[in-house]
Structure 1
Amino acid sequence: MADTLVSIVLERLTSVVEQQIHEQVSLAPGVESEIQSLKNTLLSVRDVLEDAERRKVKEKSVQGWLERLKDMAYEMMDVLDEWSIAIFQFQMEGVENASRSKTKVSFCMPSPFIRFKQVASERTDFNFVSSRSEERPQRLITTSAIDILEVYGRDMDEKIILDHLLGKKCLEKSGLHIVSVVGTGGMGKTTLARLAYNHRQVKAHFDERIWVCVSDPFDPFRVCRAIVEALQKEPCHLHDLEALQQKIQTCIGGKKFLLVLDDVWTENHQLWEQLKSTISCRAVGSRILVTTRNENVVEMMRTTYMHSLGKLPEDKSRELFYQIAFSGKNREKMEDLKEIGEKIADKCKGLPLAIKTLGNLMRSKHNREEWENVLCSEVWKLDVFGRDISPALLLSYHDLPPEIKCCFSFCAVFPKDSVIKRDELIKLWMAQSYLNSDGVKRWRWLGERTLNI
């Protein structure tokens, strides 16, 4: 993020200086040399930011320095915007009164520029390693998507879930029959639910199948509307919860259905009751399949059967990692990297999402040194992320080019599980100057390429 900001400031500073020369806008005495000095400082800072970004996860002082640097960069961009506006106004005045000789406008060195240089000078205190002399390996333009025809290591889990959904391991009782899959983030709960939902026996067994991504917050109106749309196979135009509930009861009355509620977080019993009462008119044999990270959710819903989803076995973890990381590599290269690959896969601790993410990262690395750098990274030693972020995911993030990091981080402004429209996202990146281009077509191409990395 800081790298991108510094690059943007450098680009805009150069552009404004070129504008003031072209438009005969003058700078106060000594400012031109100060700007050149500032440009040199920006270049020097940019050279050490890669190392700073790596170290900030363990060193609070580095993190604080980067935050101050970013604050100053934002202030500098505001000043440069003001300069550009002033130059534009000067240009318009010249057009409106061509007969009048242009009056030169003088700019002095603003305080944010001075403060930035002061903060930048602190970089010497950290002994950062410069990336200028390092030859970066050529990065393949790849996508994170890969066609995995088999889900590794979940055969037994799938069988158990199917038995409970199809009634082979349970007796029918009054009340809703709820099967809950519980596990930490990235463990593969949604994948297991999809396997069951799309199984040929499940398709034949139920009259209706409904998939709803619930997420947080739990909104009964939104969930009910999603159920209606899934049942009708078309958009729903009802805007009242009561009307939605009646519609659901009409559609599923007497039918045997499977309702998947993916990614449930709420522990609020009253919210759950609003949905529960709506689907109470189901036929015997109906099932609700829930995925959640929270066992309190399981208790609140009065789950009939809870399935705790554990990590992948070691052999399956390695097999999944090899399938992705060795894609496109010849047999000789695979043999050379296999031992290191085993150790990297084991560090993912059986977490499927981490294995897939790191596997995709290693696909673009082709020599032993690059693989050893990942294996020996300091990130693996961090314990501050707990169950929320795997070090493998953090490694993948740190390996992104600075401009891609910025685009990726920007997506955090969207609510969880919201639908992000591709064109709108690219336009938002453009508005933030994250895509360095001088033409709309080029911007669109860069945006598409960024989304596919």
Structure 2
Amino acid sequence: MADAMISAVVERVAAIIEDQIQYEVNLVRGVEKELLDLSRKLEMIRKVLDDAESRGVKDQSVKSWLKKLEATAYEMDDILDEWNYSLLKHKMEASVEPEPEPEPENKVCCSFIPSSHICFNKVSVRRGTAKKVEHVKATLDQILREKDDFNFIISLPAPNLVPAPWREQSTHLIDLKKVHGLTIYRKKDVIVRNMMLSGSSTKILSIVGTGGLGKTTLAKLVYNDTQVKGCYELRIWICVSDPFDVVRIASGIVDSVGSETIPPNTDQLALVLQKLGASVLGKKFLLVLDDVWIEDESKWKDLKISLQCGAAGSKVLVTTRNERVAKMMGTLGDDMYHPNKLSQEECWSLLRDTSLPEKSEVECQNFEDIGKKIANKCNGLPLAAIVLGRLLQYKDLEGWKQVENSEIWKLEKIEFELFPHLV
């Protein structure tokens, strides 16, 4: 149990740092270094956990040491939550894109690129987190000293098993009952109409927008549209994420089509691209590349050339948070689509359906006033409404009021899945 918790904390630190890089936002100066230091110490401890957990079955002192270690890992996990909440608030506020204001010199700020700023103007928030980090660091140092007293056996790591940063994989499946807002359906109709009217021309269309705005949901609606299903011989959905692995993407397309086979564990790009070209040869296809980050045209070029083996009228639909990515991939201005934010009423509807799925209409009315205030905090971002809805699902009316009166980064619990992957 301790090993699983420590592994989760170490991975969360890596995910938070990665998330900051992708979203161009930094933690309060100095805290990132502290978190990385704690992460390294946990890695040192993880190397002896196999021996510790086997000895802890009979040795009460080792068992107590493991419990202290696990409790410390949970405490560190809570600290990571506070930073995740601050990142969420930034992402929600960034979607509004207000004009930057001059900052008083006495504020402690997180710096971003380009010239946006989010400030922890409540000194108590910053000091509280710093004290928690200091406490965990002292406890972990003590645990490390006690580790040496037990003379645990160090487990050697398996070779070449360093995990790549994890991102949730999207699929083409969609529950239409959970899609809210008329504007997203209207946008879907515009994209589909464009795809139908373009006839024999081959296009690369892109859906561009900030995280949590519903790009993937819009792409799913297009992919599953009745007209689209009847127009394309092949429909292929690939979740790309980062890094942009050409072999993996091409192999995924080949596997999806099913007419060609790739030798197991092959990493030969030329062979994989040859199989890709043969898979789509003469066939009209729709390929969705979801969550694309790469701006390096050289990695996209070979894949694009192989896709040209498809029949005239084939389409590639890209979702990305970066307009530069869409332009690099060859999307022209008229083929670039930006999802709209939800209205306040639509946001409340989504929040209500997520948080009160089993409640009657009368029961929902009891939560409506406070619920609409909470929904307004989401700034029209569908995923933010879903995450808040999941949090509120387990709270009574008094709990809803506490959430409404809380700063977003001080909420008790928000699902971790939001932070590494905003759709």
Comparing 333-342 with 233-242, which one deviates more in the overlay? 233-242
- Residue 27 of structure 1 corresponds to none
CA-CA distance at 1:314 after TM superposition: 2.2
Change (3 A) 1:66 1:226: same
Quick check: 2:260–2:278 contact (8 Å CA) kept in 1?
A: no
- The counterpart of 2:243, out of the listed 184, 204, 217, is 217
- Per-residue Cα deviation, 1:400-431 (whole angstroms, up to 9, x for no partner): 6xxxx8xx59x99xx979xxxxxxxxxxxxxx
Structure-to-structure mapping, 1:117-266, within 5 angstroms? 149-153=177-181, 154-165=184-195, 167-168=196-197, 170=198, 172-173=200-201, 176-232=202-258, 236-237=262-263, 238-266=266-294
SS of aligned partner of 1:228 = helix
The yes-or-no answer on 1:375 pairing with 2:404 is: yes
The yes-or-no answer on 1:399 pairing with 2:420 is: no
Change (3 A) 1:207 1:147: closer
CA-CA distance at 1:79 after TM superposition: 3.0
SS of aligned partner of 2:177 = coil
CA-CA distance at 1:192 after TM superposition: 1.3
- Per-residue Cα deviation, 1:227-278 (whole angstroms, up to 9, x for no partner): 1111117873243111111111112111100111111111111111111111
Comparing 233-242 with 207-216, which one deviates more in the overlay? 233-242
Structure-to-structure mapping, 1:23-422, within 5 angstroms? 58=120, 59-85=125-151, 149-153=177-181, 154-165=184-195, 167-168=196-197, 170=198, 172-173=200-201, 176-232=202-258, 236-237=262-263, 238-304=266-332, 305-367=335-397, 369-379=398-408, 395=411, 398-399=412-413
Quick check: 1:321–1:355 contact (8 Å CA) kept in 2?
A: yes
Quick check: 2:282–2:311 contact (8 Å CA) kept in 1?
A: yes
CA-CA distance at 1:285 after TM superposition: 1.2
Provide the C-alpha distance between the structure 2 equivalents of 1:227 and 1:309, rounded to a whole number of angstroms.
Answer: 26
Comparing 226-235 with 335-344, which one deviates more in the overlay? 226-235
CA-CA distance at 1:75 after TM superposition: 2.0
SS of aligned partner of 2:309 = coil
Provide the C-alpha distance between the structure 2 equivalents of 1:199 and 1:317, rounded to a whole number of angstroms.
Answer: 24
Provide the C-alpha distance between the structure 2 equivalents of 1:207 and 1:342, rounded to a whole number of angstroms.
Answer: 45
Provide the C-alpha distance between the structure 1 equivalents of 2:78 and 2:301, rounded to a whole number of angstroms.
Answer: 51
SS of aligned partner of 2:130 = helix
AA paired with 1:326?
L
Provide the C-alpha distance between the structure 1 equivalents of 2:413 and 2:307, rounded to a whole number of angstroms.
Answer: 47
Change (3 A) 1:148 1:277: closer
CA-CA distance at 1:147 after TM superposition: 6.5
Provide the C-alpha distance between the structure 1 equivalents of 2:231 and 2:287, rounded to a whole number of angstroms.
Answer: 13
CA-CA distance at 1:288 after TM superposition: 0.4
Change (3 A) 1:158 1:52: closer
Provide the C-alpha distance between the structure 1 equivalents of 2:200 and 2:336, rounded to a whole number of angstroms.
Answer: 16
Provide the C-alpha distance between the structure 1 equivalents of 2:403 and 2:276, rounded to a whole number of angstroms.
Answer: 51
Calculate the TM-score normalised by the size of structure 2. 0.62
Quick check: 2:209–2:320 contact (8 Å CA) kept in 1?
A: yes
AA paired with 2:384?
A
SS of aligned partner of 1:281 = coil
Sequence identity percentage: 35
CA-CA distance at 1:182 after TM superposition: 0.5
Change (3 A) 1:233 1:199: farther
Provide the C-alpha distance between the structure 2 equivalents of 1:311 and 1:211, rounded to a whole number of angstroms.
Answer: 24
CA-CA distance at 1:353 after TM superposition: 0.4
Gaps in structure 1 of 5+ consecutive residues: 22-38, 89-145, 380-390, 418-453
Change (3 A) 1:272 1:355: same
Quick check: 2:290–2:320 contact (8 Å CA) kept in 1?
A: yes
Quick check: 2:79–2:133 contact (8 Å CA) kept in 1?
A: no
Provide the C-alpha distance between the structure 1 equivalents of 2:207 and 2:368, rounded to a whole number of angstroms.
Answer: 33
Quick check: 1:256–1:283 contact (8 Å CA) kept in 2?
A: yes
Q: Larger Cα Rg: Structure 1 or Structure 2? A: 1
Quick check: 1:245–1:278 contact (8 Å CA) kept in 2?
A: yes
Change (3 A) 1:233 1:171: closer
CA-CA distance at 1:177 after TM superposition: 0.4
Provide the C-alpha distance between the structure 2 equivalents of 1:163 and 1:53, rounded to a whole number of angstroms.
Answer: 43
Provide the C-alpha distance between the structure 1 equivalents of 2:81 and 2:307, rounded to a whole number of angstroms.
Answer: 50
Paired residues, number: 303
Calculate the TM-score normalised by the size of structure 1. 0.58
Gaps in structure 2 of 5+ consecutive residues: 10-37, 46-51, 63-67, 87-119, 154-173
